[in-house]
Structure 1
Amino acid sequence: MSNKPIYAHLLPPSWKTQVATWLEEDAPSFDYGGFVVGEAEREAFLFGKGSQRAVLAGVPFFTEVFEQLGCKVEWHVQEGEEFDPIKHVATVRGKARLLLLGERVALNLLARCSGIATKSKRILDNARSYGYTGVIAGTRKTTPGFRLVEKYGMRVGGVDPHRHDLSSMIMLKDNHIWSCGSITAAIAQARSVGGFSLLLDVEVRNEKEAEEAIEAGADVIMLDNMEGDELVSVARRLKEKWSGKRKFLFESSGNITESNLRERAINEIDILSTSAVHQSVQHIDFSLKIQQPRDQ
């Protein structure tokens, strides 16, 4: 029995209805091309192309597209594995018009999800090569209606997807604090409704605000847009001061990219959160090619 994780087991019951919605969006009326090709049983090869080694991600979404259309998918590469182009990644079997009906939706899902997984793995591998032992995380700066796929790609690529929505962790940013009057007051109000089961992440601008957040009981202190020596010295001083008194994590966020990751990947910081793993990510190129019948 394989010990490799099956990421599809993470998905909520609602995800298959999203696939149906995506198919409906792509074919809201007549399928003229499908009328042309008809119902002959055909076999199509899925090729991973492009110019780079890539991580395969989005397998359950791709498979579900075709299963909803009555087609079958056989995978030749396991999700989470890397492959070199050009690679025969999967074979899809079904009626010609149904293969083509699902083609673009399935390819778009796979291309985006694999692109995020590939970028996530690359950034995580780079951080580890620099000696960083903490958590690399994404952000909530995802595409409305497509968050599940993007967060899934981060997970397959090995990074932490961070909070999925406003309900999965309490995060107090500058607007929350200014509207409430102070960090201490904002934390107190959040704790009164969030209870014991939700972590509380508070964004701060300087050492004084960080200390206030720690004293008020925040679980995660986001040292937003701090860099270099300031970031290291603030984190080091506060960890030493509060050692044995409070348990908390430091998070660094804001303008973390592949190009400056080496400078930001310092072990005084427990979490590095960056939208670089999912925003403006290059898609992985895939194509689906229907094969000619062997007797022709």
Structure 2
Amino acid sequence: MSRPTSFPAQLPHHLVERAVLAALEEDLGLAGDLTSQATLSLFATATATLSAREPGVIAGLNLAAAAFRLVGSNVNFAPQLADGDTVAAGKIIATVSGPARLVMSAERVALNFLNHLSGIATLTRTYVDAVAGTKARICDTRKTIPGLRAFQKYAVRCGGGANHRYSLNDAILIKDNHIAVAGSVTAAYQSASAFAGHLVAIEIEVTSLLELEEALAAGARIVLLDNMDNAMLARAVAINAGRATLEASGNVKLDRVRSIAETGVDFISTSQITMGATPLDLGLDVEIAGAKP
């Protein structure tokens, strides 16, 4: 099933600057890179090649570029690819050149962002490919590393996935504990409808087919089907009959995601793509020249 082509994801510039500056401050501290200062001449220059050591999907090039730019002047970062591009093992991703001390000082910060985010993009693409041909879309959750949510969700988009809400103030998601306190699915949904502005989306979580029917009767237009097996998901799709957007969530592993998609749900959300992704193996190979003044 084909979908309209979407524009590439983009990170706000100020978030990139703030995160990279914090990472450089964490790594360089008050004295800077002692190893480079102790072993490399102030006049030494470096040329480095950033390449993939395994196949995957790239994400985080803007963060890497900022790391080399913000560590000092005269460092040139030249990407050969764009975020979202697929790479084979051995493929050159970018080249870096400039004062050797500065290149070495920014290397780890740049790679930390790239390795981590490319790992998320790669795993997301694997999930997206697994449901190809169905109408289901893979999306993330709010289960992210504190402070890195914007970047992890950006990586999900680079991998072809979709984003769930970014934070508690994005939309209303009525979960089982809200329903328990409110007294019923109907009471919770009606309260949320009375509270929300016309542009605020409301999703309600249900754990049974009876709760689904109650939610639909209350007017729900987005329903999260929590921890249902495939047979129950298929039955939920039939009961819904196109009235609401259905999202399946809970225990979504790669070996099961295709069968979930084939039940006919619209979205499948999983924390695996942000919290379970292995960093993609990328490396920076450096050549130093002009070691003596």
TM-score, normalised relative to structure 1: 0.89
Residues 58, 86 of structure 2: 8 Å contact kept:
yes
- Of residues 257, 270, 283, the one that matches 2:253 is 257
**What is the SS of the residue equivalent to 2:48?**
strand
1:207-232: CA deviations, max 9, x gaps?
A: 11112222223221111111122211
1:6-35: CA deviations, max 9, x gaps?
A: 433x42633311211111111222221131
1:127-180: CA deviations, max 9, x gaps?
A: 11xx31222111111110111221111000000021111111211111111122
1:234-287: CA deviations, max 9, x gaps?
A: 220231xxx6xxx42111101111111222112521111112222221111111
Q: Which residue type is aligned with residue 293 of structure 1?
A: A
List gaps (5 residues or longer) in structure 2.
none
Q: What is the aligned partner in structure 2 of residue 121 from structure 1? A: 125
**Matches of 1:140 and 1:163 in 2, distance apart?**
7
Residues 155, 161 of structure 1: 8 Å contact kept:
yes
Change (3 A) 1:55 1:42: same
**Matches of 1:29 and 1:60 in 2, distance apart?**
25
**What is the SS of the residue equivalent to 1:278?**
helix
Aligned alpha-carbon RMSD (Å): 2.1
**Matches of 1:194 and 1:12 in 2, distance apart?**
31
**What is the SS of the residue equivalent to 1:145?**
coil
Alignment of 1:1-40 (within 5 A): 5-8=7-10, 10-11=11-12, 13-31=14-32, 32-36=34-38, 37-39=40-42, 40=44
2:106 counterpart of 1:106: no
Residues 135, 264 of structure 2: 8 Å contact kept:
no
Q: What is the aligned partner in structure 1 of residue 287 from structure 2? A: 291
CA displacement at 1:294 relative to structure 2: 8.9
List gaps (5 residues or longer) in structure 1.
none
Residues 134, 267 of structure 1: 8 Å contact kept:
no
Change (3 A) 1:283 1:236: same
Identity of aligned residues (%): 32
**Matches of 1:208 and 1:13 in 2, distance apart?**
46
Alignment of 1:74-113 (within 5 A): 74-113=78-117
Change (3 A) 1:25 1:288: same
Q: For this pair of structures, how many residues does the alignment match?
A: 283
Q: What is the aligned partner in structure 2 of residue 282 from structure 1? A: 278
Residues 116, 157 of structure 1: 8 Å contact kept:
yes
Change (3 A) 1:264 1:57: same
